[in-house]
């Protein structure tokens, strides 16, 4: 059974931005979309080892900082070379101003 864990406070992430969250030896990226929704994916790109929290959020896209590979962070879908493998996504809910993710 997956657990809900607190990733950060809502205000820790700016609008249209992403932060890193490490838990239990794993690393995640937590996003705040331009329309103020929250999402979570695996932290590392599926192409090579670059953390997506250093990347750029544009609308519903996260662009990887290393080779500019793009994913839809809401669905995890890889949007073309050099990323070909989708990103794992995780359910998110907001509880009392905290961003909770189910991992």
Partner 1 sequence: MTTAKTKRDYSLVGESTRRAIETGLASAEWYHTDVPRKTMKELMQRSDGPAIRDTIIWLAAIVGSAAGIVWLWGSWWVVPFLFVYGVLYGSSSDSRWHECGHGTAFRTRWMNDAVYHIASFMLMRNPVQWRWSHARHHTDTIIVGRDAEIAVMRPPDLLKAALAFTGILDFRYSLPTLVRQAFGTLSEDEKSYIPEMERHKAVVAARWHMAVYATTIVFAIALRSWIPLVLVGLPRLYGTWHMVMTGLLQHIGLADNVVDHRLNTRTVYMNPISRFIYWNMNYHVEHHMFPMVPYHALPRLHELIKHDLPEPNPSMWHAYREVWPVLLRQLKYEDYYLKRELPPTARPYRGEFHEVDMSAAAE
Assign 53 to helix, strand or coil.
helix
Does residue 26 belong to the site contacting ligand FES (CB under 6 A)? no
Sheet holding 70-72, edge to edge: 56-58, 61-63, 70-72
Considering the complex, state which of residue 87 and residue 99 has its C-beta at the smaller distance from ligand FES.
87
Q: Which of 75, 78, 80 is nearest to 90 (CA)?
A: 75
Does residue 20 belong to the site contacting ligand FES (CB under 6 A)? no
Does residue 50 belong to the site contacting ligand FES (CB under 6 A)? yes
Considering the complex, state which of residue 70 and residue 101 has its C-beta at the smaller distance from partner 1.
70
Considering the complex, state which of residue 18 and residue 103 has its C-beta at the smaller distance from partner 1.
18
């Amino acid at each position: 059974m997956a657990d809900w864990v607190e990733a950060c406070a809502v205000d820790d992430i700016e609008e249209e931005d992403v932060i890193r969250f490490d838990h239990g030896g794993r690393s995640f990226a937590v996003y705040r979309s331009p329309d103020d929704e929250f999402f979570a994916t695996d932290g590392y790109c599926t192409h090579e080892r670059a953390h997506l929290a250093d990347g750029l959020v544009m609308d519903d896209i996260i662009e990887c900082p290393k080779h500019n590979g793009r994913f839809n962070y809401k669905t995890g879908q890889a949007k073309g070379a050099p990323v070909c493998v989708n990103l794992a996504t995780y359910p998110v809910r907001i509880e009392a101003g905290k961003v909770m993710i189910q991992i």
